[in-house]
Chains A and B, each alone.
Chain A
Amino acid sequence: MSNETNRRDFLGYTFAAVAAVGGAASLVGMKQAWDPLPSVLAGGFTTIELSGIKAGEPETFTWRGKPIFVLKKTAEMENNKRDLVIGEDRFTVAIGLCTHLGCIPAWKKTKWKCACHGGEFNPSAEQVFGPPPRPLDLPPFSVKGTQIVLGEEGPEYKKIAAAMKNA
């Protein structure tokens, strides 16, 4: 009798082990099926020419389907640790998605205002009002003369990212 029970138990444990391994493997597979495809990840790089940008009038570019704000600061605009300095000029480079819930804020004279929930960002892309929890994000970039290439992490990017972290 007890012998019989043990045999059944053994079968049960074996089945549980096989099912657990199979279940875990399936979950990993299903998770990966939902991951972005390689073609999406390859996403490409975007080159932006900075020399043509007018001070005080931000422009919007597209990188990986996201808007990228590039603002050449005017003399009155404050210096900031995240300024990208190229020669005489100071630039704010930011991913143009509100850090609250991802709407695209619009430039209104001296700041970016987010229409969705009223968030506001100053010319240095720092949040100054409303629900956004942090400044607009910094996209990875590298500098080549008067151009920046989005998608590569150059030394200038690393410096700014480090400065933002320590603040």
Chain B
Amino acid sequence: MAKITKANSVGEWLDQRLNTTTFNKVMMTEYWIPKDINFLWAMGVLLATTFGILLISGIFLLMYYKPDVNLAFDSVNYTIMQEVAYGWLFRHMHGVAASVVFLIIYIHMFTGIYYGSYKQGREMIWISGMLLFVTFSAEGFSGYMLPWGQMSYWAAMVITNLFGGVPVIGDALVVWIRGDFNVADATLTRFFMLHVFLLPLVIMALIAFHFYTLRIPHVNNQTSEEFDFDAEAEKYLSGNKKESKVIPFWPIFISKDLAVLGIFLIFYFYLVFFHYNFAMDPVNFDPADNMVTPAHIYPEWYFLWSYEVLRGFFFDIAGVKAFDIGLAAFGFANIIFVILPWLDRDTKILPAHKRPAFFIWFWILMVDLIILTIWGKLPPTGNNAWVGFFAATAFILLFVLLPIVTKIDAKKRGE
């Protein structure tokens, strides 16, 4: 056993037993962050905070929500909204945070792409981040189902039906996932379990893992400059703070994060109190009815781009069914970001504005994603169908071309 002596303070008492001093050093005061990063790097802290809000507001909702097809709708729209003190607030905080969390995830993700933070040595950061994105998507979808409104119901119908595209076992798989021939009570209760227990557990584990992946390669910076973190930390600790390229996470760096967080929270609570509706579809205020499909269904805004890739291919090409092309494209859209580190053939880590071809690629991708998102919500008829088709094709082409685009940049620099 370690040597335990009489402690003079609570801190010392804990330190002797839990080694809190070292822990604080490793996690906070000697966790080094490059000086040269901007507000876009604060998204991690924003996400952690938003997840905290989701967790806490979720616990309060959980106390009144009833996972039963006959009770679910009223437990949300009557009990929580009308009867529970501040129930409306918890619901809106939960709903708005669920939407905003995706906005921040996307910013976080595209910051990473812009500055090349997924490249050589940082692949695990990127992969664990993408795993988080996928789990968050499953979490968002399973939560969307719970109020058992019309949109919830039909979203569940469409998403579970997607598994019917799996060869041979597809139909049986759909029945198995639903636990019924239709989206029904068994489906609701199992998605409830996923949403309030299993997926949050996985998310928390992945968040811990995502943080850990940063420890060895360290966080990237605005110029993607590579430097020796140990040497820079040494400089800082010896008092040479001005010359050192790093600062400690706590208390120096976090102050900047907290400033950004403050602004974000003002925006977030503005939404919660004045625009909580933006993420709520009026159709979802009709109770689920398995005999009537709403005239036009679409997912939440953050899934629209991949939804549009799915339905962009509306006609058969070379004997392949439109349905299969759509599913394949959808699958492509969902895994392609994961393998991004290997599609980028540029041997250097550089921000996009120092890689001319990649810079253009990046902004075309942004525009394409915005188009997909907008058209994902429009009815898929006439010209809209064609816009969807071309935008979906462009999306796929962009990733097919990425290895070439990145090679061109490397060549131009003479590598």
Contacts and interface: CB of A to CB of B under 8 A. Distances in A.
Contacts of B297: 103, 115-116
B314 A117 contact: yes
B391 to A, nearest CB: 15
Contacts of B385: 118
A146 B398 CA distance: 58
A34 B178 CA distance: 8
B190 interface: yes
Nearest to A96: B291
B296 A115 contact: yes
Given A40-B179, A64-B181, A118-B385, A131 B326 contact: yes
Interface string A72-98: 000000000000000000000000000
B176 interface: yes
Nearest to B174: A102
B293 A43 contact: no
Interface in A114-166: 115-118, 130-133
B144 interface: no
Contacts of A40: 179-181, 184, 186
Contact of B291 (A67, A99, A101): A67
Nearest to B291: A67
B193 to A, nearest CB: 11
A101 B162 CA distance: 7
B157 A103 contact: yes
A22 interface: no
Interface residues of B, number: 36
A65 B176 CA distance: 16
B327 to A, nearest CB: 10
Interface stretch (B40-48, B51-59, B90-98, B316-324): B316-324
B314 A66 contact: no
Contacts of B294: 115
A116 B158 contact: yes
B182 to A, nearest CB: 3
Contacts of B290: 65-67
B186 A116 contact: no
A36 interface: yes
Contact of B293 (A62, A115, A118, A133): A115
A71 interface: no
Contacts of B85: none
A133 B322 contact: yes
Most chain A CB neighbours (cut-off 10 Å) among B161, B313, B323:
B323
Chain A at the B interface: SS class: loop
B314 A130 contact: yes
Nearest to A43: B181
A115 B178 CA distance: 23
B184 A65 contact: yes
A37 interface: yes
Contacts of A99: 323
A104 B291 contact: yes
Interface in A12-70: 31, 34-37, 40, 43, 60, 62, 64-67
B186 A132 contact: no
Contacts of A132: 323
A36 B162 CA distance: 19
Most chain B CB neighbours (cut-off 10 Å) among A35, A37, A62, A101:
A101
A111 interface: no
A96 to B, nearest CB: 9
B112 to A, nearest CB: 32
A62 B235 CA distance: 75
A143 to B, nearest CB: 22
A65 B182 contact: yes
Nearest to A66: B182
A36 B180 contact: yes
A6 to B, nearest CB: 36
Interface of B: 154, 157-158, 161-162, 175-182, 184, 186, 190, 290-297, 311, 313-314, 321-324, 326, 379-381, 385
Given A35-B179, A104-B292, A118-B379, 6 more contacts: A40-B179, A40-B184, A64-B181, A106-B293, A130-B314, A131-B314
11 contacts: A34-B177, A34-B179, A40-B179, A99-B323, A102-B157, A103-B158, A104-B293, A116-B293, A117-B311, A117-B380, A130-B314
